[in-house]
Structure 1
Amino acid sequence: MDDNAMYKMPTIDLSAKSLLMLSQLGIFVTFTYWTSQGLEDIIDYVFPLLFAVSGLALFLSVPNSRMGVTLGVPAFMVVIGLATGEDETIFWAVFMLVMFGPIAYMPALASGDSTLGLDDASRMQRLGILWIVFALFMMLMMSSIVDMAMDGEWTDEDFDEIEYDMSIDSTQQTIAQVGLAVGVIGVLVFLMTAVVGIRTYDHRVIMGNWKMLPWHGGAMAAGAMLIGQYLWLVADGEPAFNFIEIPFILSLVGLTALTPCIAYDTNSGSSDSEE
């Protein structure tokens, strides 16, 4: 298809790149669903429509969609907040900037999208930074795994601002502690192998021929998020189960694990040959 086309229909199959794009779309589908619940005023329909259009624009590779989602969504939220006098909307705008920026750009950076106009070195450097920001943000801000591991109880709030006092038992708290440790180690592994560039698989490293690659860190971080989301679902005091939680969890895990898997797959071979 012509590179100047208004959109490109992606190939949908079981390849890693296709699953990564579906994971990206899945995040926006879940936010569209969440923000469409309990609508009362006409203005309330704006946000579900905004998330739906953003997700489709990214999925169909509409020109400038990544920049539009990264800056446009937060800017629009600020405008709505100022117009309605809801100051907390500005906080959510910053939240969306940090969250949706990496979501919008990571699949393109991982696959080497030519429309980015970046050389490989710059592309991989930016991807490494965005992935770490995204992984830490999702583990520390979007997940309650830290509270689970430290205290075993926490307070959560839904989109209707209803608070839930949630808790887990001692066994589940131990699982949360293990999950948090695995997640932190995963981020450190990715930082060392992808961003810093430490080689863990040649004779100069104490680990000998055992390979530790960026996607190992991605898998560990994704596993930690999966543990956190599972414990949230089984915790005492949780809100009624909603089926949309499942695609959100799968999309979150897919973005975290598949991004480094795709991005650093072709580089591993060249690195192996260097002595």
Structure 2
Amino acid sequence: MRDYGRELRFGVSVAPLAGEVESIRRVVRAADREGLDLVGIQDHPYQRRFLDTWTLISTLVPLTERIRFFPDVANLPLRPPAMLAKSAASLDVISGGRVEIGLGAGAFWDAVAAMGGPRRSPGEAVRALEEAIRVMRLVWSEERSLRFDGEFYGLAGMRPGPAPAHPIGVWVGAYGPRMLRLIGRLADGWVPSLAYSAPERLPEMHDRIDGAAREAGREPREITRVYNVEGRIGADGDGPLVGPPEKLAEALSGFALESGMDAFVFWPQGPPEEHERQVGRFAGEVAPAVREAVQGERARRPGAARTGGGGAK
């Protein structure tokens, strides 16, 4: 059993489909209105049906008041890190501190190359992502003139600014051992998806992150763990997140108390016209039940929250 004792957060994902702009707006407004914490939007610029993720987020920020946005996750090979950091800081200022960064090393390399991006080996992708995190944090720093001489990225006297409105978190979407160790050493969070990292795989992956964090002098519980979860509330079918709200709440409570995850981004399935209603049920029925179950269990075994989930119990 693993529980890092972090405050739970809940969010929603919207697919950036060019033909569903009004549906996206309705879902995001509903998520903000119903008190959800996060909106995550996938970033596949080479997908012809998709809007540009950063452009879409910038149009959704003015429609909301409190919810935070993040690319889930930004395609690094097509977004130079200094410019990505500048864009994130700018939108963070405009939104009043409501932007985080989900960052991915890249995938679908043929499509990336077709847009003029680099084709990277697994080792190159890891090294490039580490450099990108360091570059972005330099851009957000208070240094007057930035210099960085890396294998993939460089800064030659850049003048940074504006500063973001709050410390922007860098949450990395990754699954391989080297990437997980990088997250433990350097990142603020981890963003896996249920479809690619089932709950039974999470303990081993947490171990890699936590071991690297401790070697770097970091406390593992400082690292946010965001789980992308697909589901359909009120539908019949198999799967832990298809069915009545009680079924989803039980599954997510287990992911928090036994699998170490502390934020859940719900990807509603089914026709787009159902998504707004599903978001309302997720916010109004599922999320409160998960919070109540997790808080109750933590109260019965408070040591779990204090230990930071340092291993199996």
TM-score, normalising length: structure 2: 0.26
Which structure dedicates a bigger proportion of its chain to helix?
1
Which structure dedicates a bigger proportion of its chain to strand?
2
More relative contact order, 1 or 2 (CA 8 Å, 6+ apart):
2
TM-score, normalising length: structure 1: 0.29
